[in-house]
Structure 1
Amino acid sequence: MENEKKVQVEMTAEQAEAFAAFQAKQKKEAEAAQRKADRETYAKMVDEEVAAVIPELRRLSDNIKVVKSKVYQNFAQVLDIKSNVLGITKDTQRTHTFTHSDGNMRLTLGYNCIDGYRDTVEDGIAMVKQYIESLATDEKTKSLVSAIMRLLSRDGMGNLKASRVLQLRKMAEESNDDKFMEGVKIIEEAYQPTMTRQFIRAEYKDKKGQWHIIPLSVTDADTDEEEEAEVKK
């Protein structure tokens, strides 16, 4: 095999500069071409994975709908019997919890609810504030005024919280003030909640006697990696 001979080319300064510029241009074009190929590969991977997972998630959603509907259908008769046995009108109770006789499983069915009030709530609030203004100004009554004003504070949607109105009624009953009690009554009568979606909460008790909620949504269901991370904390 003949020895390869190295050819040495002499270039002027201008030629060397032009050659270096040519090499830099080639390198830049090659890098740009590689980035474009990488983007095309990435886009292809995204398309393939999205196309593969969306049908699975749609099937999962459909299965959840079927099971949810079945659960409510199965418990419709149970709710009727509960209403007859306990004398409770079904429409007045938003959630129903059923616990297995062995104490290891329980199921809660109900509606999510958004608090809301008719315009007459303002009349009730005005009457309650009148009562507040009629109080004396000593330290004892100052704390009572502060507590009542906290109960009248509104949420982000501009509504009173139903749980706070319940506390307000207890305070009105303890006050024995007719004006205060009437104002709270008007607030309660103005209550007009909006029922949103039905929910199901299923729980089981482990061998140590601790309750665990069964995750029924993609958000609540932890992956293996998330469970391992939680254990390491």
Structure 2
Amino acid sequence: MENEIVTMTPEERKEFEAFLAEKRRKEAVEREAAERETYKTLVDESIEACFPSLKSTSEQLSDGKKLCYNTFAQVVDMKADVYGIKDGQKSHTFTHRNGKMRITLGNYETDNYDDTVNVGIEKVKEYLKSLAKDDESKLLVGGVLKLLSRDQKGNLKASRVLQLRKMAEQSGNDQFIDGVRIIEDAYRPAISKTYVKAEYKNEQNEWIAIPLGMTEA
């Protein structure tokens, strides 16, 4: 059967071309929607494939951490008794007598202060502001006042307070010294997280950390 030649008026051709363009647009939209649906399905399937393993790994790490802390609790107590020391350490490292394995248990601390810190801060600020007599001294005082700036959680940095104490001692001013002392006495460090580190020595006699986190693995 021979192809039939259709004769169209300019208006009919214009309408036909518009029809084809609309058809192609709809097909593109449908194809894009189908591809996005395929992508979302792949994401769901990938999550479902990995999640159980990751959850199991997390539980194993948690159980391993608890095992270490429970196992070494008696060791830490005995260490204090045998060596006659008070347990004020943030971390404990235990090394095997063969010198090839060691485990460290510890905790991270965040700077924290009780409400009296505000009294100390005000005393320090009053003293420092009394020194700002001209533009140059105001600039210097402003730099020192930055040591009293708080972090995102509203706490002072203990390292900055240490700098202030050195300045206060050098100044010899009672108000400055007392203000810093109040700040230091208000310090109440809070334990944020506990951790376990395990290491072994390789053939080159170097300590190698066993990866215990998803980032390090």
Partner of 1:112: 108
CA distance in structure 1 between the partners assigned to 2:20 and 2:146 by the alignment: 74
CA distance in structure 1 between the partners assigned to 2:106 and 2:100 by the alignment: 20
Partner of 2:38: 41
1:123-202 → structure 2 map (5 Å cutoff): 123-128=119-124, 149=145, 151-169=147-165, 181-202=177-198
Deviation, 1:76, is 0.3
- Indicate which of 52, 55, 74 corresponds to 1:55: 52
The reply to whether residue 214 of structure 1 matches residue 210 of structure 2 is yes
CA distance in structure 2 between the partners assigned to 1:12 and 1:129 by the alignment: 89
Partner of 1:230: none
Aligned residues: 213
CA distance in structure 2 between the partners assigned to 1:145 and 1:21 by the alignment: 74
Question: Which stretches in structure 1 are left out of the alignment for 5+ residues?
Answer: 223-233
The reply to whether residue 20 of structure 1 matches residue 17 of structure 2 is yes
Partner of 1:87: 84
Aligned-pair Cα RMSD in Å:
3.7
Please give the secondary structure, in 2, of the residue aligned with 1:154: coil
TM-score w.r.t. length of structure 1: 0.69
> Deviations 1:26-71 (Å, cap 9, x if unpaired)?
3333333322322232222222222222222211111111111001
Partner of 2:64: 67
CA distance in structure 1 between the partners assigned to 2:117 and 2:150 by the alignment: 12
Q: Percent identity?
A: 45
1:216-231 → structure 2 map (5 Å cutoff): 216-218=212-214, 220-221=215-216
